[in-house]
Amino acid sequence: MISSKILCRHPRSSLTEAQEETQRRKKSGGQLYVNGYRVRPNHNRELEGEGLLCSLYACLCVLGLWGLRFLRALRLIQFSEILQFLNILKTSNSIKLVNLCSIFISTWLTAAGFIHLVENSGDPWENFQNFQSISYWECVYLLMVTMSTVGYGDVYAKTTLGRLFMVFFILGGLAMFASYVPEIIELIGNRKKYGGSYSAVNGRKHIVVCGHITLESVSNFLKDFLHKDRDDVNVEIVFLHNISPNLELEALFKRHFTQVEFYQGSVLNPHDLARVKIESADACLILANKYCPDPDAEDASNIMRVISIKNYHPKIRIITQMLQYHNKAHLLNIPSWNWKEGDDAICLAELKAGFIAQSCLAQGLSTMLANLFSMRSFIKIEEDTWQKYYLEGVANEMYTEYLSSAFVGLSFPTVCELCYVKLKLLLIAIEYKSEQRESSILINPGNHVKMQEGTLGFFIASDAKEVKRAFYYCKACHDDITDPKRIKKCGCKRHPGALRSSADRLDRTRVSDRASHSASLPLCHSFPMT
């Protein structure tokens, strides 16, 4: 700045003309230009006011050209809205987390840009001489250590504007750092431990279990479903519940970690149903609370679970427990509920009443049925007492298996005799297909019923491996074998049942459900499957 003159940039002067330091007079107005600036003498009275205006004008030019570009960081505040438009953010926690992070980062970067501007420019009243060369990322570092109240002192503001800004930023930044950072950490730390998604494995099926998930109900279910007497079950059990498990239940899941997974969520939420891959599950089991004070309310909750699951995937097979018999009628109002496709409701009150009624007709029948449909291992007793024979009977359960082609054409009594004498198996019923290809369950039919190809038999045995003898039996290879344990798969020919797909073998459970509605077995609702 010249002390006796005010310099104003000529609009047509270029940077090259200013560097030549030549003096020339404009022909039209006779005005003097020095270094590309127009010189107006004899304006000492207006020197102070106009000098201030020119300084502010220079500041505004600097800010307009490159100084205010740091304000672009404020656009990050709308980052969460963009992610919502792209359908990336769906949950409230994720939206809140992105909002907090975007506000925190945008404020941080914007304040760093302002410090970078004033520190590299200097104070206007100091003729911009007290500036310091500092990079933008050093300003970011300066504000972070300032917000966290650490303040190492290796980087600090030298200009008056920078220090004044730091005073106000410490007040606001400290409040923001103290409120936003703990909330962000809380949102990240409070992510559900069991909030992931089930990863389906090719070749391995899974079922979903929901409803009343407690240590007692889960342990009883796993004890029966994963019993060692069953055949190797290549099915994974996925539990879904809205409450995280306690330590005892968590330990139970860890003991069966190869076949059991738990996810926290609700079947009333379609997002949680998608997490457990309900659309690819073989079945969905809903457990009821047998000790609830209000059975009707418990049934209503389970019916709502059925409606939610059926609305999400109408073709999923559902087996639910009900406490009151009259509540089963509400399931018929669900359009996608289909008894023929395997949907079933097990009413505990109906079972109890049926057991009592059957005990009046045949004493001990209810005890026998209860023992057949519960999985218990055989307990050896050396003494020849009635307890020994009773425990041997308790260790037997009901299984299903396809009969070998060696039984085709034989009558039911002949097959029963052969299974009992040769295979040490008790055959009590078969699935018979009529000429119209309609299936029905026949319990102890007469000589007029002949075995067909791929007939499904219902056996009473101690484990699933014993029932496999009826599937592997070959008259040519096993006719002279006296020990039934030696009857295994032979290589002389292929059994027709061996060519069945795994899906056909899993259909046995549906056959069992049809058997539960047969008049011959009014109390049965499901059979243990191999």
Mean pLDDT of the chain: 76
For CA atoms 209, 215, 217, 223, the dihedral sign is positive
Does the structure show a pLDDT above 60 at 51?
no
**From CA 258, how far away is CA 236, in angstroms rounded?**
8
Tell me, yes or no, whether 24 lies in a domain. no
Does the structure show a pLDDT above 70 at 58?
no
What confidence score (pLDDT) does residue 518 get? 35
What's 281's domain CATH number? 3.40.50.720
**From CA 354, how far away is CA 447, in angstroms rounded?**
31
DSSP 21: T
Work out the average pLDDT over 370-394. 75
Least confident among 129-133, 329-333, 355-359, 496-500: 496-500
Does the structure show a pLDDT above 80 at 215?
yes
How many Cβ atoms from other residues are within 10 Å of residue 102's Cβ?
A: 20
Work out the average pLDDT over 228-238. 76
Work out the average pLDDT over 507-515. 41
pLDDT tens-digit map of 336-355: 998 888 899 988 888 888 88
- Asked which of 352, 368, 387 is the last residue of a domain, the reply is 352
- Asked whether residue 235 falls in the same domain as residue 328, the answer is yes
The angle formed by the CA atoms of residues 450, 456 and 459, to the nearest 5 degrees, is: 100
Could you tell me which residue, 153 or 279, shows the higher pLDDT? 279
Does the structure show a pLDDT above 70 at 477?
yes
Domain range for 288 is: 205-352
What's 457's domain CATH number? 3.30.70.1450
Whether 525 contacts 346, CB under 8 Å: yes
Could you tell me which residue, 137 or 388, shows the higher pLDDT? 137
What confidence score (pLDDT) does residue 55 get? 54
Tell me, yes or no, whether 199 lies in a domain. no
What confidence score (pLDDT) does residue 378 get? 64
Does the structure show a pLDDT above 60 at 136?
yes
Work out the average pLDDT over 317-322. 93
- Asked whether residue 347 falls in the same domain as residue 209, the answer is yes
- Asked which of 332, 352, 372 is the last residue of a domain, the reply is 352
- Asked which of 296, 322, 352 is the last residue of a domain, the reply is 352
Tell me, yes or no, whether 468 lies in a domain. yes
- Asked whether residue 332 falls in the same domain as residue 436, the answer is no
Does the structure show a pLDDT above 80 at 521?
no
Work out the average pLDDT over 278-298. 92
Indicate the helix (H) or strand (E) that contains 432. strand 426-433
The domain total for the chain is 3
Confidence band (pLDDT; 50, 70, 90) for 5? Answer: very low
Work out the average pLDDT over 58-68. 54
Q: Which amino acid is at 461?
A: A
What confidence score (pLDDT) does residue 301 get? 94
Confidence band (pLDDT; 50, 70, 90) for 497? Answer: very low
CA distances from 354 to 369, 372, 514 (A): 11, 16, 18
- Asked whether residue 73 falls in the same domain as residue 137, the answer is yes
* Four-CA torsion 126, 129, 132, 135, nearest 10 degrees: 90
Tell me, yes or no, whether 323 lies in a domain. yes
- Asked whether residue 255 falls in the same domain as residue 319, the answer is yes
pLDDT tens-digit map of 398-438: 888 899 888 888 999 999 988 888 888 899 899 888 777 77
Highest mean pLDDT among 115-124, 249-258, 351-360: 249-258
Indicate the helix (H) or strand (E) that contains 355. helix 348-361
Q: Which of 126, 104, 131 is nearest to 115 (CA)?
A: 131
- Asked whether residue 171 falls in the same domain as residue 261, the answer is no
